[in-house]
Amino acid sequence: MRSSNIKETIALQLENGAAYLLALIWMLPLIYAFWSAFHPSEYATRFDLFAPLTLDNFREAWSRAPFARYFLNTFILVSIILCAQFILCTLAAYAFARFEFPGKSLAFGLVLLQLMIMPEVLIVENYVTMSQIGLVDSIVGIGLPYMASAFGIFLLRQTFKTIPKELEEAAKVEGCGPFQILWKVYVPLARPTYVAFGLVSVSYHWNNFLWPLVITNSVTTRPLTVGLAIFGAPESGVDWSIITAGTLLAVAPLLVAFLLFQRQFVQSFMHAGIK
């Protein structure tokens, strides 16, 4: 340490302090969720170091809805959406990144337009479509409207564009056709982007609520959030202990996965950088 720069050091410490403070604030809702989920409900709004710990809230939450089934549904839903998004977005992004065809920029503009359209607004129309193709109350039906993700197309296109053309040419000279090139060159090289986009997509669909509620009718298709909403309905007042316990149950897989793989996730984001 340079002795002459005490002032700078202090400034740096202050800044680090601010960074941790902000981190604490950002964590606060989660911290509170843990607090109130693990304590009896009379401590939900009172903080007492010696409050007794309990798992009752989890037991209660778990018993109020068939969470196990909902977990399975959500898991299937998220997997289907993710697979479909990967395939559809990959193909479209590849077209936008490396092919010339008439109407390309118009098509791309239209894709970007989708970013701006709120799916909530289209619920009624989409419900009609689903019922026409007989997919009301099916997990596929929940996923369909989200399968062509403009965000995914956009992100992958950017990534594909940064992949050196030489790699594609090398593969061409070795005898690869367009699909082989996509599969053997572009997809593996864009893996970080896939991980990044996957994270965003999974957390969105894991937590999506209104459309799944409207389009599903039975326990065998409903995702977790619908179960969660039973506690979330504040018509008769909020019971935070149960809500937070339910919330923790619902997001636990996500949280755990994120904790375990956070290094990989974050690194993927880094590589997927939007420039």
Partner 1 sequence: VDLTMYYPVAVGGPLTKVVDGMVEDFEKANPDINVNAIYAGNYNDARIKALAALQSGEPAQTSVMFSIDIYELIEQGAIVPYDDVVETEEEKAWLNSFYPALMENGKTQGKTWGIPFQRSTIVMYYNKDAFREAGLDPENPPATWDELVEAGKKLTKKNGDTVEQWGAMIPSTGYPYWMFGALAMQNGQTLMNSEGNETYFNAPATIEALQYWQDLGNKHGIMPSGTIEWATLRQNFLEGKTAMMWHSTGNLTAVKNDASFDFGVAMLPAQKRRGTPTGGGNFYIFEKSSPEERKAAIKLIRFLTEPERTAEWSIGTGYLGTGPDAYATPELTQYVKDFPPAAVARDQLEFATAELSTFQNGRVRKLLDDAIQSVLIGDKTPAEALDSAQKQADRLLKNYR
Partner 2 sequence: MSAIELCNISKRWGDSFAVTDVSFKVEQGTFAVLLGPSGCGKSTTLRMISGLEDVSEGKLLIGDTDMTTARPAQRNLSMVFQSYALFPHLNVKENILFGLKVRKIPIAEQEQRLARVAELVGLAELLLRKPAQLSGGQRQRVALARAFIAENPICLMDEPLSNLDAKLRHDMRIEIRALQQRLKMTVVYVTHDQAEAMSMADKVILIKKGQIEQEGTPDELYNKPATTFAAAFIGTPPMNLLDITKMGTLPPLLAEPTSSAILGIRPENIRIVDAGGIPARLISADYLGADTVITARIGTQELQVRTPGRVSVPEPYNARLQWQKEDVHLFDPSSGKRNDTIKATDF
Partner 3 sequence: MIRRPSQSHIHGWLLLMPAAVFLIAFTYYPTIATLAKSFFSQGNAIKPSRFVGLENYEYLLTDEVFWKVVGNNIIYAATTIPISIGLAMVMALWVNGKLPFKSLARMSYFTPTILPMIAVANIWLFFYTPDIGLIDQVAGVFGISGHNWLGDPDTVLGCIIIITIWKEAGFFMIFYLAALQTLSPELEEAAKLEGAGRWYYFRRVIFPLLMPTTLFVLINAIINSFKLVDQLFILTKGGPDNSSSLLLYYIYEVAFSFLDQAYASTLTVVLLIALAVIAISQFVFLDKKVHYQ
**Interface of this chain with partner 1, residues 30 to 69, rule: CB under 8 A:** 41-42, 44-46, 63-65
Nearer to partner 1, 86 or 231 (CB): 231
CA separation for the pair 144, 136 (Å, rounded): 11
Could you give the 3-state DSSP secondary structure of residue 18? helix
Nearer to partner 1, 11 or 122 (CB): 122
CA separation for the pair 251, 66 (Å, rounded): 16
Residues in 146-205 that interact with partner 1 by CB under 8 A: none
- Given a contact cutoff of 8 angstroms between Cβ atoms, the answer to whether 192 and 272 are in contact is yes
Residues in 119-148 that interact with partner 1 by CB under 8 A: 123-124, 127-128, 130-132, 136
275 binds partner 3 (CB under 8 A): yes
218 binds, among partner 3, partner 2, partner 1, none (CB under 5 to 8 A by kind): partner 1
CA separation for the pair 21, 19 (Å, rounded): 5
6 binds partner 3 (CB under 8 A): no
Rounded to 10 degrees, what is the CA torsion of 20, 206, 152, 175?
Answer: 110
270 binds partner 3 (CB under 8 A): yes
- Nearest approach, Cβ of 53 to partner 3 (angstroms)? 19
Span near partner 1 by CB under 8 A; candidates 2-10, 50-58, 173-181, 237-245: 237-245
Could you tell me which of 210, 218, 191 has the C-alpha nearest to residue 272? 191
